Structure 1
């Protein structure tokens, strides 16, 4: 039996199964943050990190993709909370939209491993060979998109944006901000214009001159 690196863990009392589930997810997040590599998250590595036998995981997660889904859902919840905080701290519709986009970029920069994993990668399973469903994957990121959509709609209502197709322009704005977040992560040596984020948001959100 391989016990190398296994943490000592106190057995949960009856009724504390939810705590073990949270510990499994937290361990997976820690492994992702430490390695930056989603392939490092296996049933065995997570079990070792928590300090349990690998079969114990099956009481809470049927397979590795289910653990990854929980990790990604937690990451989106963190992102959504940060976006809402940034939005609520800003004054005026334009400022709120810009604050959301800047917070989005900030999350991607602060958590590069989580961010890459949130939008696919090696963990994305063959749905015919895992416990996940199309619905599980389709709902990821929906709340963040809704925040962006509502902020852009407020800009249009206030007359500071000229979008005539909110749904399409919301997607275009997300693609632009997401693309910038991704490229910053994979091209750290590139010298970006200092106002690149403002250029992306202003153009794709059809914002009027400030």
Structure 2
């Protein structure tokens, strides 16, 4: 009989004690579905199980429901974003201004190269009733916290170096993130708009209160 191209892959069972491996395979499969479709609704327990090569009920050993799977995908995406930000700062020039600009460019580049992940990270369309599902308010509150802290630290360094006149680093860091987020989103939905080549630096300079010093 000919091979059925639509059949799920046959998965080799993990050895005893390798449950974490299956959990990661589930997250990887869900992330792949999101990258391919750009739509978090494509992440269902059945579609993920089929890609991994397991029965859908096997997922319940690691995740209580579908939103918990998407939460794991989103957490992984935020970890990737933070790693990109860290690497950009480490590779940037010596001045705090250069490091802040590099961090902001890395943020925008993440949004450009990971559109499905980025939209899901900040869209919130996948989040169910927080009072009834497995995803909690604390889960949502912690998302992106490290990246925001990194942005605030970069801005604070600019203030310390005298190249930013920000009088409230915490508030201005949030304003700067909102500006970056808005630009990342609009670039994605309006790619044909004639964006000024220096629009990112203009946004950062204004919202971070950067000076020529």
TM-score range, shorter chain: over 0.9
Q: Which runs of 5+ in 1 are unaligned?
A: none
Alignment counterpart, residue 102 of structure 2, candidates 99, 102, 112: 99
Q: CA deviation at 1:191?
A: 1.4
Q: Which runs of 5+ in 2 are unaligned?
A: none
Alignment counterpart, residue 204 of structure 1, candidates 204, 207, 213: 207
Summarize the Cα distance change of 1:153–1:47 in structure 2 as closer, same or farther, 3 Å threshold.
same
The residue that corresponds to 1:75 in the other structure is: 77
Query: Which is worse superposed, 167-176 or 114-123?
Result: 114-123
* TM-score w.r.t. length of structure 1: 0.97
Q: How does 1:169-184 map to 2 (within 5 A)?
A: 169-184=172-187
Q: Contact (CA 8 Å) 2:127, 2:135: kept in 1 or not?
A: no
The residue that corresponds to 1:52 in the other structure is: 54
Q: Which consecutive segments of 4 or more residues in structure 1 shift more than 4 A?
A: none
The residue that corresponds to 1:139 in the other structure is: 142
* Structure 1 vs Structure 2 CA RMSD: 1.1
SS at match of 1:181: helix
Q: Give me the whole-angstrom Cα distance separating, in 2, the residues matched to 1:151 and 1:122.
A: 30
The residue that corresponds to 2:165 in the other structure is: 162
* TM-score w.r.t. length of structure 2: 0.95
Q: Contact (CA 8 Å) 2:89, 2:99: kept in 1 or not?
A: yes
Q: Give me the whole-angstrom Cα distance separating, in 1, the residues matched to 2:100 and 2:124.
A: 28
- Equivalenced residue count is 208
The residue that corresponds to 2:198 in the other structure is: 195
